[in-house]
Amino acid sequence: MENNVFEQMAKKYDTEERMELAKIIVKEVRPELQNSKSKSLIDYGGGTGLIGLEVSDMVDSVLLVDSSKQMLGVAEEKISRKGITNSKVTYADFTEETHNLKADIVLMSLVLLHIPDTKKILQELFNVLNNGGKLIIIDFDKNDKVYHPKVHNGFSHESLKEVLTEVGFKSTNMKTFYRGNRIFMNKDASMFIASSIK
């Protein structure tokens, strides 16, 4: 996977543009976390915590899981600087090995596009969830203007829903919630949120 890219960019990851986009994502995720005060949340590929730490007030605990130690280092600094007491980080890559972590909610924002085998990672995240748990995915809609050998050029709602059903999710709600200029590899693009129940 593209770990090295994130290892190298960690200290410079939180640009104005990324923080603006993160605010838009957080606004969309928060309603999904209503009545979750007793729930545990894993932010898979949580990076510098732009999403996970901004919803930590809505859940019992947040675990930022990431395969980049540098990104997690930035998140850890934020946790201590902001005095967030219910959030931690852990280094892991579920595409490499299975972990026995469990959570009520798994959040994955702008990570699925970086993982070559979509079905395998969704299967791993399904296994991490407790029964009745929720997977929230934020990513880009399929975009023919984008090409990169190591990154999916977004996802079509239909085919992603199909994979989510195949790995065992009972239901999925999915909608496009934002269109922006040059937000996906410098191309105009739209983002979706998918919410699936185990």
Ligand X SMILES: C[S@@+](CC[C@H](N)C(=O)[O-])C[C@H]1O[C@@H](n2cnc3c(N)ncnc32)[C@H](O)[C@@H]1O
Greatest pairwise CA separation for the chain in angstroms = 43
Nearest to ligand X of 94, 169 (CB atom): 94
Question: Do residues 153 and 144 lie in contact, with contact meaning Cβ atoms separated by under 8 Å?
Answer: yes
Nearest to ligand X of 66, 104 (CB atom): 66
Question: Do residues 119 and 125 lie in contact, with contact meaning Cβ atoms separated by under 8 Å?
Answer: no
Environment class of 25 (CB within 10 Å of its CB; exposed 0-12, middle 13-18, buried 19+): buried
Question: Do residues 118 and 95 lie in contact, with contact meaning Cβ atoms separated by under 8 Å?
Answer: no
Nearest to ligand X of 91, 171 (CB atom): 91
The amino acid at residue 165 is: T
Nearest to ligand X of 6, 169 (CB atom): 6
As measured in angstroms, the least distance from the Cβ of 56 to ligand X is 14
As measured in angstroms, the least distance from the Cβ of 3 to ligand X is 6
As measured in angstroms, the least distance from the Cβ of 70 to ligand X is 8
Q: By the criterion CB under 6 A, which residues form the site for ligand X? A: 1, 3, 6, 22, 45-47, 50-51, 66-68, 71, 93, 95, 109-111, 114-115
